[in-house]
Structure 1
Amino acid sequence: MKKTFSFLLSVLGIFMYSQQIESFKTIFNDKISIRAIEIYDNKVWYSGTDSKFGFVDLVNPKNHKQTQLSEKKLQFRTLAQDKESFYAINIESPAEFFKIDKKTLKSEIVFKDTVKTAFYDAFHFVNNDLGYAFSDPNAGRLKLMVYKNGDWRFYQNDFKLNDGEAAFAASNTNIASSKNYLWIATGGKVSRILRLNLKNEKLEVFNTPFVQGEPSQGMYSIDFLDDKFGIAVGGDYTKQFEGINNIATTHDGGKIWQIQASGKNAGYITCVKIKPKSKGKEIISVGDQHISYSSDYGKTWKKISDEKGFFVCEWIDQNTIVFAGKDKVSVMKLKF
């Protein structure tokens, strides 16, 4: 009787699992590593290795185009957009800031950072007139590029990061913003939250209980619903299946963080995104080895796919998510 009951539970579990994913299709393949995507005009836009930049049409995947932003084989792990253009920064020094016209796809270099330590982890637009690009520190000092009303400048500050504290260029999502704040997640030997007040540019710094202490540990990705609720994910990329202290949530704008599902999740995570119109209740996450889902504000997680090789994700609508990573772009449709 016990065996029969266990078998029925197993079948039920498989049934529930199969019902959650309605479809999961790869819409683009190429020899490329993609860690940054944007959604625009019913297309997923990407930047990646070998200076590659392009799009895949979400309605008609046969409609796709790719170009190389440079004759040099640059690695791009950032991508951002305003109303008229896309922006991408290569990770090596000199870091070149490319502006790509949305209509013509013609690109130009609008800024260069020639400091040897330049390594831009993420680029994020708060709105069409305000954007921020975050680099690993220079001489231990916080390095943040500000784009405002068409002008570029460095955020003037004397704030120093701790020894071994930097960030991860894993998915262009260690920056997030709301109406009033910009958050940056650091990682490595120290993993903290930096919060910038967008009205007065005052910087605050908050410690976190996240796994840290080694160069491979810390927060890799954050997302915020509003000024209060946010989620951070990450872990240790050298220990892919060890999910200890690698998910945390905040309800006070990043001041205090609560560890969630420690030891009860699928492991290392590179990207997290809150589902639109879910008020923070439903969240998708992706790591090199899995895709996981939470329906209770990040408190518990269910692995919904063992698909490997994805680094970044983004919601297309309330039922559809695009994933990108090693050599592919795929679209998952969920059934609720």
Structure 2
Amino acid sequence: MDTDLPEPLAGDLMSLFELSPEGFPWSAPRPHEIETRRAQLSDLLIFDILLSSGGVRQPDSLWPPTDPPSLRRLLSAIEESTYDTLKKDCLIYFLLKWHQDGREEGFKEQRCIPPQFAMLSDAYWHLDSGIYVERAVSLLCDVRLNRDYTSKIIQAISLSDAPTRLLLQYLRTAKPMLAEPDDMDTYILALAEESLISAWQYQRTFPDKSEIRTRLARKVLFWCFSPKPRPEHLKQFISFPLSTFEQSLLHDFALDPPISFPASSIPVLQDLVCVRLIQSGQYVEALKLDRQYASTQRGTQAPQFADRRRKMIEDVIAALPSIERLEIEERLRANPSA
């Protein structure tokens, strides 16, 4: 046990920190970097949440400190918080890590901080600082650690250099409960980056016609075509079997894509729908949808694409045996306005 360290809650916590201008861990530009990170995380760091949970008001006015006097105010607020001694020690441990010289290890030994509490503090530090986020993910996958602050963790991982890999590692290993729409959206798009089929299967875990499933499916469809079409993923989607609900959702999406949907991707989306129908022998449905596309306001923005698609459908139908062509013509005459 390191006897050089003072008893934190009985003595002066300030002596744990380097206070010289050269060694102060929050010398410029560090405070600005932390403020920038806070802004990227919707103006709320994990350390802000921890301070607030202990009854510390307006944590952003205390954290980060910019000089020794402001550090003393922060430490006083921690000492006066509603936390027990162990949780206060964890907050001090978190602050000591900003020295990045290992001094927090001596503090951990002296205060007998349990390994899982130190690991959780380490993970939160990596996420808040944005330094070596991969280490945070590895730590959070430990079954001994709690599953708090899932949304904030996902948000922080999403800012990393390898968000898809790290997000999937965290979500598949730690298996936190995803209750917030933004978390589900982030997860399904990470799945799509790895495998479109995996993403599509995930939305199938929710009931047909539910708001969640509809939103997730539309999220994947939008991703496939934005900011521009993704050929490799669309190849998978062309032949992927869809349920009646999914096919209806796809057709509605193609007829009325979101306002933010790239205009240049609309013809590609509409072609995909028609190709899927033709491949499954639904020629009449393909013709009807093609007519609907041409009559929509956004569909008329690219007549050359509409002409090409119409010719593609007509050429396919022309190559069919005569009895099939007659049947298609009869069906169209019976319901020409559909």
- Give the TM-score normalised by structure 2: 0.23
Q: Determine which structure has more spread, i.e. the larger CA radius of gyration.
A: 2
Choose between structure 1 and 2: higher strand proportion: 1
More helix by share: 2
> What's the TM-score, normalizing by structure 1?
0.23
* Structure having greater relative contact order (Cα 8 Å, sep ≥ 6): 1
